[in-house]
A and B are shown apart, each in its own frame.
Chain A
Amino acid sequence: MEKHPSYEVLSSYLPIYPKAAGALFQTYNDLKYAQQWSDLELVELPGCARCGLKGRRPQTDEVLSIVPCSLSESLSTDWIRTTFRELGAPPHVYLAINTEDSSIVYYKISPGIVKPPL
């Protein structure tokens, strides 16, 4: 992992939250290289013992928030509420669920009921 170009950017954050290091690394790489997000920045979420990410999708202006987690973790609604609080109450948060084979599934979580778009 150390030889990967992303390691430099993440190196200050990975040792702080070692249990979430793998999930953060995979999510960061997926957003930066595969999804081609811009202006990616890391946000520390001490209440959830991990770092979150904020960035913009290609060709959009809206800043979106991502919280990486791994499949083996158990989450609670309180945990989710903490992520909203520590990310500065965004309108919605994307939960990036990482797996060992590097698949990432993103779930969009909103506080409260949201009508589907169509």
Chain B
Amino acid sequence: MSLTGTSRGGKGGQKFGARRAENNRIYAHPLPIVCPSPSSSAFAPLLCLLFPASARLDNPHCEGVFDPSTRSVWVLTERDATILWRRGFFGKGDLSRSEPSWLARQLNARKAAGKYMTSEEVREKRRQERRQFKLDRAAAIARAAAEAEAAFAEGREAAPAVIPSGATWKPSAPGEPSLPVAPPEDEDDSDNDADKEEEPLDNVEHLQLTLQEAWFLVWNLDCLTVLDPHTNEPMSLQRIWRAFQGVHCIPPDLPVYADRFDNLFLVHYAAYHYYRALGWVVKGGIKFCVDYLLYKRGPVFHHAEFAVVVIPVYEDPADQESSPFNLPNANTFSWTWLSTVNRVNSQVQKTLILTYVTIPAQSRVSPDALSSPACLAHYSVRDVVLRRFIPARMRD
């Protein structure tokens, strides 16, 4: 929400148009795998039709390291982190809001008056403005109350109160002119200016992929290699499959954890895969008390329209009783909980979706199925969209 007025015409409009075009260019590829544009030769497209195997896909072959304690895969190289973020918005910089921008922010801070602002700095500025607005509003309310008291005591009408609202308030001391937001390329160039006077900065940030994102890249797109954290050797698909389920089994290798379909990784992966396969960009939703947020193209384009809560449903209730896991939201929820989550999300103009993931019964499906991801076919996903209906206001 911008308190300095959302209507930007003229020069501001040009800035926005250029920003949009820039974003469309940088974030053009929805997935890390890219189909190369057809070559100038007239025969290339024909060849692709006749001999599909010769249609080459540009696979970036990224690398990540598995970290069991944070239950994630870390992408340590800048090249791979940039590719995975820009082609599909996979992962999150662990010291940033979204894309890894920690180094850029530190270098900005070092140059006394930073030329550009990263998204974190924009957020700081917005929060300060909001704080100032709240102070001004509280002072205005106090003044109006005092004036009303004085007027009542004197037996006259109080002067009409002027209380600033979000739409009418302007920051009283504009301070420095608003800085343009950094175009993403600046991250790469700023490294050259790093050691003018102070010692060079090590980039301690990495891109963190959730296990669901990592498995999606490994299994479906084959564009990520996961390394073992101790040996630095690439892990085989089987090992990755078992290791990702194993993070939820503490302590590991207990027989009670073996052959369970209700492993949290599997349940969440079923939902993640469902929405990714439909073309949504799926990110974490903890800021809005939900499991996932769905973006139509990506976080840089527009706010998320949908907030997803994953609700596991056991096909066989006996499995739930025998479960060593305590899956969140697996029990009947209360109306207060539902109202709370819906209210939080409607205040930020998001629609709540309840995604029911049905966990197959141990009695019906053999536990051997768990040795391969083919068992995911046994999970079913249903979604229910929730909107609050107010009969007095919604007449249509």
Within 8 A of A (CB), among B108-146: 134-135, 137-138
Chain A residues with CB under 8 Å of B355's CB are none
Binds A, one of B16-24, B200-208, B216-224, B373-381: B200-208
Selected from A29, A34, A101, the residue in CB contact (under 8 A) with B72 is A101
Contact B202 A100 (CB under 8 A): no
Q: Are A103 and B92 in contact (CB under 8 A)?
A: yes
- Give the contact stretch, choosing among B52-60, B94-102, B273-281, B342-350: B94-102
Main secondary structure of the interface of B (DSSP, over half): mixed
Are B286 and A97 closer than 8 Å at their CB atoms? yes
A21 touches B286 (CB 8 A): no
Asked whether any CB of chain A lies closer than 8 Å to the CB of B67, the reply is yes
A102-B92 contact in complex given A29-B204, A34-B102, A72-B264, C-beta closer than 8 Å: yes
Please give, as numbers and ranges, the residues of chain A lying within 8 Å of B93 by CB-CB distance. 102
Q: How far is B202's CA from A6's CA once the two chains are assembled, in angstroms? A: 12
Task: Point out the residues of chain A lying under 8 angstroms from B202, CB to CB.
Answer: 5
**Contact present for B205 and A25 (CB under 8 Å):** no
Q: From A20, which residue of chain B is reached at the shortest CB distance?
A: B69
Q: Could you tell me if B71 and A22 are in contact, using CB atoms closer than 8 angstroms?
A: yes
Q: How far is the CA of A4 from the CA of B209 in the complex (A)?
A: 17
Are B284 and A33 closer than 8 Å at their CB atoms?
no
Q: Are B94 and A26 in contact (CB under 8 A)?
A: yes
- Across chains A and B, the number of contacting residue pairs, with CB separation under 8 Å, is 74
* Contact among A5, A19, A26, A71 for B286, CB-based, below 8 A: A71
Expressed in whole angstroms, the Cα–Cα distance for A19 and B138 within the complex equals 45
CA of A33 to CA of B201 in the docked complex: distance in angstroms?
12
Q: Does B164 contact A (CB under 8 A)?
A: no
- Contacts A5-B204, A72-B264, A103-B287 given; indicate if A26 touches B102 (C-beta within 8 A): no
A114 within 8 Å of B (CB atoms): no
Q: Does residue A75 face the partner (Cβ distance < 8 Å to B)?
A: no
Chain A residue, CB-CB nearest to B209:
A101
User: Could you give, for residues 77-118 of chain A, a 1 whenever the CB lies within 8 Å of some chain B CB and a 0 otherwise?
Assistant: 000000000000000000001111111010000000000001
Q: What are the interface flags for B64-98 relative to A under an 8 Å C-beta threshold, 1 for contact and 0 otherwise?
A: 00010111100000000000000000011111100
A33:B205 contact, CB within 8 angstroms: yes
Given that A103-B287, A118-B138 are contacting pairs, would A30 and B92 also be in contact in the complex, using a CB cutoff of 8 Å? no
- Contact of B283 with A by CB under 8 A: yes
Residues of A within 8 A of B209 (CB): 101
**30 A–B contacts from the bound complex (CB under 8 Å):** A1-B69, A1-B70, A5-B204, A14-B69, A22-B67, A25-B70, A26-B70, A26-B94, A29-B204, A30-B94, A30-B95, A33-B204, A33-B205, A34-B96, A71-B286, A72-B248, A74-B326, A97-B286, A100-B71, A100-B72, A100-B208, A101-B72, A101-B209, A101-B213, A101-B284, A102-B92, A102-B93, A102-B208, A103-B284, A118-B135
